[in-house]
Amino acid sequence: MSFWSDKNLEPKRQYRWLLSIATAQIPHWVVKSVDKPVMTVGTPEHKFFGHTFKFPGNVTWNDINISLIDPVQPDSVNLLANLIYQGGYSPPAAVTSILTSMSKKKVTEAIGQVFIRQVDAEGAIIEEWTLWNPIVKSADFGGALNYDQEGLIECKLTLAYDWAAMQTTNAGKTTSANGITPTLRVFYPT
């Protein structure tokens, strides 16, 4: 049987997904777009007699970008600012605030776990990405305001993270890309 005549085959769709940032309490409907994780493997080279040989090097996970619509309630600008303030940032308004700074512990606890979940037509999770130790790299609170425009205000958030883990469900069977039992819900790089 060919794939185009099998009604049970269903591709994953770009518009069926949910983003969850554990502590930010950002409603799903506010999130306009998100990048899926991208892994880059370094390839150091060794040159010998006019030949170049490549070897696998360090793995780096690229930042992800998130776009949010900014409704009056809940206020996306306020939610993003709180992530930064809870991460330890304090404007230099007083001497005591100058002495405090952000730390990885405070920032990762302020954000919590980040999940990107793709769902099927029934809303069941078919692919889930977990970002480990995410930190805010940049926050754009809405860009330029313009009297000539009537569009919605859009906030942008860029998250850096140490690594991502992926888990999929296919025909009721759950698997993970890193070989760890998926029911543990804890992933470590292999």
pLDDT at 180: 44
Sheet holding 64-69, edge to edge: 31-34, 64-69, 154-160, 135-140
Q: Is 26 helix (H, G, I), strand (E, B) or coil?
A: coil
Domain count, the chain: 1
More confident residue, 114 or 93: 114
User: Does a structural domain hold residue 188?
Assistant: no
Q: Give rounded-to-5 percent helix, strand, coil for the chain.
A: 15, 35, 45
CB burial readout 131-144, b (16+ within 10 A) else e: bbebbbeebeeeee
Give the residues across from 20 on adjacent strands: 115
Encoded tokens for 130: 């977990």
* End-to-end Cα, the chain, rounded Å: 38
Whether the CA torsion 184, 187, 157, 33 is positive or negative: it is negative
Domain encompassing residue 172: 12-178
- Give a yes or no: residue 184 inside a domain: no
Quick one: which of 177, 170, 172 has its CA closest to 11? 170
* pLDDT value of residue 177: 60
d(C-alpha 176, C-alpha 25), whole Å: 27
Mean model confidence pLDDT for the chain: 83
* Domain membership flag for residue 73: yes
- What is the per-residue pLDDT across 43-55, written as a single tens digit (0 to 9) for each? 999 999 999 999 9
Which CATH number do you get for residue 70?
2.30.110
Domain membership flag for residue 130: yes
Q: Quote the pLDDT of residue 22.
A: 78
73-92 pLDDT, tens per residue? 888 888 888 888 888 888 78
CB 145 within 8 A of CB 43: no
**Considering Cα of 175, then 179, then 184, then 185, what sign does the dihedral take?**
negative
Residue 34 lies in a domain: yes
Query: Which pLDDT belongs to residue 185?
Result: 39
Residue 137 resides in a domain = yes
Q: Does residue 1 fall inside a structural domain?
A: no
Q: Is residue 31 in some structural domain? A: yes
